[in-house]
Amino acid sequence: MFLASLEQPAKKETAITELSGPEPKPHKVTVEEINKAISEIPLPEEPEEQSGEAFKFIDAQSFTKKKPVSVIVEEKEPEKPKPVVVGELFKTYVVAQVGDEMILMDKHAAHERYIFERIKSDAEQLETQMFLEPIMVLLSYDEYDALTANLDKVSQLGFEIEPDVAPTVAVKGVPIILGDDNPADIISELAKNFIENKLNPQIELFDDLYHSIACKAAIKANDTNSGIELQALVNAVYGQENIRYCPHGRPVMITLTKRDIEKQFRRVL
């Protein structure tokens, strides 16, 4: 019985071996089989283009070809500092800070050039302001003849003028931009300009006319202006590359850097 009990487990082990069979060998997957499997994967639909996105999608075909994923990032430009008015000198020069710079702006020269550029680029700035009663302006006879011969061009500049008893003209309206100033001086300047340019009196060549109107319309040195008005002027002029000199050639502003000022105070060498 003891021998029989020892032989039974051996028979059971043999039975298990016969049922399970030989152990399978591991199969090595080849590169060709991997590529074939990838190529059989259906491609997803291409996503619609998203406006305002800072990147673009790469389709699945790009991955099968093992191309590197590219990402396009839109770099935003750093925001430029804005001028801030900090005061005024001698009721003539506006003091403003722009980042690490200080600017001194001649308020009359800056405003004059600003108006000059707007007149040249936008005829609507020359809309006419009509007077309740005409203003009579006495000219020389030469000025009277030159002005009355060019009333159509004067009208394009926003003036409403009619000849009266020579050498007097009746001014019925002026450009709104001139405000409430007496028009006598500007009418005389217009007439003199027509005398000087009578050989080629084309309106686009009469920069002196625009200069005269801009000069009369601009704020003046020693005028009292609020901080809001000065800030509006600096905002309009600063950053305009074509506004660096007034129509007469004087600089509109000068700039001092923080380092320039600190060198004056010997804070830096």
Give the pLDDT confidence of 168-212 residue by residue, as tens digits. Answer: 999 999 888 777 677 888 898 888 888 877 655 454 446 777 787
Residue 123 has pLDDT above 60, yes or no: no
pTM of the model: 0.59
Tell me, letter by letter, the H, E, C secondary structure of the chain.
Answer: CHHHHHHHHHHHHHHHHHHHCCCCCCCCCCHHHHHHHHHCCCCCCCCCCCCCCCCCCCCHHHHHCCCCCCCCCCCCCCCCCCCEEEEEECCCEEEEEECCEEEEEEHHHHHHHHHHHHHHHCHHHHCEEEEEEEEEEECCHHHHHHHHCCHHHHHHCCCEEEECCCCEEEEEEEEHHHCCCCCHHHHHHHHHHHHHCCCCCCHHHCHHHHHHHHHHHCCCCCCCCCHHHHHHHHHHHCCCCCCCECCCCCECEEEEEHHHHHHHCCCCC
CATH of the domain at 139: 3.30.1370.100
Residue 22 falls inside a structural domain: no
Residue 239 falls inside a structural domain: yes
Q: Share the mean pLDDT of the chain.
A: 77
Residue 58 falls inside a structural domain: no
pLDDT class of 45 with cuts at 50, 70, 90:
low
Residue 141 falls inside a structural domain: yes
pLDDT digits (tens, 9 = 90+) for 149-164: 989 888 888 889 999 9
What's the total number of domains in the chain? 1
Give me the mean pLDDT over the 2-20 stretch. 45
Residue 36 falls inside a structural domain: no
Residue 79 falls inside a structural domain: no
Residue 268 falls inside a structural domain: no
Residue 207 falls inside a structural domain: yes
The range of the structural domain enclosing residue 165 comes to 84-255
